[in-house]
């Protein structure tokens, strides 16, 4: 666990970082959470995470290059 309370922190690319707080996936823009560079963050609870995964799956099934 890092000093910001998150585990499994990684840089996804395009200025987006992610980590897990034990319940939610946290997405952070422009910098690692807990730093002065992080401009915005979004927390995805399990229900929203599942909805997002389904959305990506539908896009791929529709032939979108994602």
Q: Residues 5-47: pLDDT tens digits?
A: 788 989 999 999 999 999 999 999 988 777 777 888 999 999 9
Contact 10, 18 (CB under 8 A): yes
66 lies in a domain? no
36 lies in a domain? yes
Dihedral sign, Cα of residue 2, residue 22, residue 41, residue 11: positive
2 lies in a domain? no
44 lies in a domain? yes
42 lies in a domain? yes
Question: CB 35: neighbour CB atoms within 10 A?
Answer: 11
pLDDT at site 39: 82
34 lies in a domain? yes
pTM of the model: 0.79
pLDDT at site 1: 57
Dihedral sign, Cα of residue 44, residue 49, residue 51, residue 56: positive
22 lies in a domain? yes
17 lies in a domain? yes
Question: Domain of 45?
Answer: 7-61
Provide the number of structural domains found in the chain. 1
């Amino acid at each position: 666990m890092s000093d910001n309370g998150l585990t499994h922190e990684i840089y996804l690319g395009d200025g987006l970082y992610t980590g897990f707080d034990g319940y939610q996936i946290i997405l952070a823009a422009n910098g690692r959470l807990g730093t002065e560079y992080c401009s915005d963050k979004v927390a995805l609870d399990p229900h929203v995470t599942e909805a997002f995964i389904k959305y990506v799956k539908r896009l791929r099934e529709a032939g979108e290059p994602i």
